[in-house]
Structure 1
Amino acid sequence: MTEETRSLAQTNFDQVKFNLDWNSLTALSGLEGGLVDGDEVYHLGRLVNDEIQTDFLREGLETCKDHHGEACERPKNVLKTSLTAEEPPDLRFLRVIDVEQKCLVPLPAGGTYVAVSYTWSPEPYTSLLKENIRDLEDVSGIEIDRLPPTISDAMEVVAMLGERYLWADRLCIIQDDPRDKRIQINRMDIVYRYAALTIVAAGSSSEGTSDPGLQGLRPGTRKISQATATIRGLQFVETQSYLDETISRSRWYSRAWTFQEHLLSKRHLVFTRTRVVFFCAKD
């Protein structure tokens, strides 16, 4: 029998369906109103691990796909054929990262992809340029250790989710080509609206800081201190701050274009400093 755990502070479930770090994903569907014990309402508490429980990353997405139907799916008339002149013009120039072969490719016919929404850090990581585009299109042309941690971590998450393609502006837009930038920027709504999922990197809170990556994915990237207490046989655990407060304090939230990406996407996997949360259009 699992010992009952109560929280010391209220937790906000209004905007979140699946908190993917929790020990029991199947129990989450009844938590919006809290756990009822007699005439009092309690909210579930938990100790947050230093690393993400990766099994739940894929399970949250699969649950949405299996049960939410068209409400969370992209339009079906967009990616049915190869990227040719007959393809809708908004997608003719879409290039993505193949996370298996570690190179840039055009999105295949009928292919699905994951997008990542993040803010750039000041370090001189690899970007797509006119001079290196051919190198990055070669198999294994993308050197993982020269990428921003957020993008390399996002590639790992894409593989964990059973997907193959990732869209990240740094590597999918030619940064020193004004024409390509103009074309791609004018299609940002298409990119995020039609993504199977958007990974949101909301873990950094300060301007000009190093890229922390997707915190909790790698050892040592997420450190959490929680108070615990046992009172009359019941274990109490200090809860984390409200999710909306955590996100609103992040550097990601302060940027107009990242907020737009958030509004356009139908599914989100949000990485903050202390947790990972999946939510979608049905929430």
Structure 2
Amino acid sequence: MADRNPESASQDAVLQEICNISFDELSRRSKPVDIMSSATPERYRLLDCTEAVSNRTLRILEFAGFPRVNYAALSYVWRGNHPVNDGMLSRREFSILGAEDADPIGLDILSDACAASLACGASGLWLDRLCIMQTSKQDKRWQIREMYRVYAFATVCVVAPGGLRFLASFNQETHWIYRGWTLQEVVAPPAVAVIFAWTHGAGEVEAEVGGETISGRIEVVAPGTSAMMGLADTLGVCSAGGFEFTPDGADEGATPLRIKAGLFGEPPTGSLPGATQTNVSGIRLPHVAALSFATARNLDTDEMRDFCIWQCALVRTSSRPVDMIFSIMGILGVMLDPSQFAADDRLGATIALAREVLRQGRSASWLGLSANLPPCPYLSTFPAFPRTSVATRATYDLPSGGQQLVMLTDAIYPNDIGLFLPIKGSMDEAGYHSFGALAIRVVATPAATTILSADSIYDDARRPTQFRAVGGSTWNICPEEAIPDDESQMPQSFASVICSDARLLQRHTGRDYRQQHPCDACDRAR
């Protein structure tokens, strides 16, 4: 394996080889692969890509210090796409002790991932299922804290959207973009490549998105079976719904191949109550556009980048609720101790993350995330926490019963956030966020006495005295001199502009306020 810094190679010499099994033996094994007896907790591990590609051997190396070799990190989903027919599976696959709930690892895909890594200049591959001791809580907790570092210092992240059992093709929709951990895995590294099933060879790609032409290139990984393309270009062609492909060596004037691109989703039919914004931009796949924003390298401020991360995280899911915070803490510049939180303690981890972000003097970039999701009843400066699952997409409970998919119907470009002053402040251990913001007292208006027409938001756009909230309720704006002195008139409500949205706040106790659904946050809001 090539060393990044030959002069320091002795400092990070391979501690030991902890696994060396041929692919033939792996395909015949009836028992899962177990590295527990040979691995040491709290160590770094990498697969040897050259051995996998050239000698068809699974060789895992363990390092005493952080590896100084060029390596790739793999991004995938534990439970990927199901094959259309059993003929798509080679049956050359194996499982890992402690991760039997995940799909088996296909040997052909493992070889392709290693080949893609080598093509990108990486001689090692980090694959969580093989590089983390799956039955060791000690190693898992340590590895979670190191996860951001592992991806941030990788030469490239290789994305296998369909999982590790077989490669998905461009016309197959996958759930990779909805998984919690995959966000950090593509935001942290300096480069990201997507690997997919492909039979058309190398060539040039063109697509039209929003009236603009995007160009990319597909490179072959394994001739006749697989190829790869950069993440930005892959997101672009998926936003377009398809692309034109011209293979290398095609005759001049040859008609390009038209390829459908549904790898990261298809446009929804009809609007859904769980949508997080109203689409005014015409973006075809908002969740894809949101990831494009989050992975852009040209964002001007931390606030812009952080908002994009929160926007993407909102529609994602994981097997453990707490992982929805652990999976983004590194890219938000925070390191929490996983041992301090139970698997379902998303609330506690969210408060801890938000407190540390604010303590660092950074802005509350999660404010203004959603205009349609109700506020969290326990932490109302955040939207309601969706239900999470490793096998399904994020949902939230409807007030009338049942559940609804959480979806973006529009993606907010972070420059829009830059038009407003960032909100900072502090948060206490209970989750109450203290910050200053302009607000005005408002009083609910009975529907029978409203002066608004059915299609009006304000009675007077320049000097409104009455307005209608997103949910349809109407409110009178109280002039300062009209505010009663009697504090017993509870609950008191205020309207405030937080980031780019109007928010409706209701006094809870003393100086504590909570956001109301659906116009929703001020002075001290939980």
**Which has the bigger relative contact order, CA under 8 A and spacing at least 6?**
1
Fold similarity call, TM over 0.5: no
Q: Which has the higher strand share?
A: 2
TM-score by length of 2: 0.25
Structure (1 or 2) with the larger CA radius of gyration = 2
TM-score by length of 1: 0.44
